[in-house]
Structure 1
Amino acid sequence: MAKNSVDVYGASGKTNVLKFAPEALHLVDDPTHPLYDERIHLPLDEAMVLNIMNQGVIEPIVVWKDKETGQVCVVDGRQRVKHAKEANVRLQRAGESPLFVPGVVRDGSARRMQEAMVSANEIRRPDTPLGRAKKMADMLSRGNDEADLALFFGIGIQTVQATISLLHCTQAVQDAVESGQITVGHARQLAELPPEVQREKAQELVSVAQETKGHEKARRQRAVLGEVRPRIKSRKEITTALALATGEYAAALQWVLGEGDAA
């Protein structure tokens, strides 16, 4: 006789995990509803669609049945449901079976479900860049390649390469990435430098991050890494320069303004 799953796994109890066709689930898009979350309008992430096509939906969503409308509403897992819908469109187009989404049911008032929704979204601790890099390195050592990792982690191959390069950086660089003051892209560039230069550049990048924000921060950090890019001149600046230019330079400026022959 088959053993009870509670006994097999040494669990303290069990609950039902149901399977849903993602198309049958209701994603709340009414801003006045307690379960509305503006992230419902985020565009689809191609990497996530491909991941679900390959792996299915691994983590169960949380659903709640609205007794007033009879709709089964998604409390947690909107993005998984959205991407599963798109995955099914592609799978069926290819003649393959559609996916189902595992879901756990919660009961209670709409207000209580709103509290659960917020908690599920906010009380999460994502993996750190260094933690992801270590996992990637381990998976590579077990026979996976970079394309596999891009699929499993839902990112591009270049991001995989940049993340793994973090393991070849000094502690100063790793700490700066972990604290969010520099990116894994910066780390990839720094990994190619001697250790003493890595530490020096990391300190400069962190100082810039502490002093500036936004575009200015990005511009100055590029400058630290020697990536200063020429600023594109405005039409007014080009017109002013043209007034003083002669010969081939003048002809080139006229071409930029669309007034001359490309030849």
Structure 2
Amino acid sequence: MAKNSIDAYGAAGKTNVLLFDPDTLTLVTDEASPLYDERVHLPVDEALARNIDYQGVLEPVAISKNPETGNTEVVFGRQRVKAARLANQWRRERGVEPLRIQGVVYQGKRQNALDAIASENEARTADSPLGRAEKMRRHLAMGRDEEQLAVIYACSIQTVRNTLALLDCTQAVQQAVEAGQIGVTQAKALGALPPEDQREKVQQLIEAGQGVKPHERARRQRAVLGDAKPKMKGRKEIMQALETAEGPYAEALRWVLGAE
């Protein structure tokens, strides 16, 4: 006698997986909705669309029925839906049957959907720094604390604080972070300065980091912020210092050189 799927795979249970034409799913653009995510406005990832065209959508999206409109809205999986739509456009042009996308019903409360959206996004293509900061701000407004945000965003509490500090920076600092020219930790340091000083200092940081490798860029930018580490002395410099050194300092120099 054939086993059912639960017995066959040793599963603890099962849920229904639904199939959708991706064009029938609603991507929420209303910022007042608990299902809104600004990533909905990102351009379609053509590389992902090509992958989906080749092998379909491998992981189901989560959906929720809007009780007011009756629309089937995407909780998470927006980029997969958009990419599937583009893939199907290509397939129709080739005369190939369009793909359907798997969806599972989101079991949580709609007002808590932002938790799932944030966690699911962080496991994939992370938000931009400013987008992440704005989403954290929304979480705080909903009553979440820093410890909860650290869990949701899979980061430290200090990272949460550094990221949120970006919202208090000038636009020049925010744009530099978005462009990858400085980090959120540097932005937090700049945020403590008056606006005009922020704009001046961030330009210095950008110029210091141009045309150099990441390690050298970090060193130069630390120097701009007044946090440069002291340069290590070379063997020749230590030997020269030893010529005039006395007492414990001379002993320390000999130890560094490996002399008895």
TM-score (norm: length of structure 1): 0.49
TM-score by length of 2: 0.50
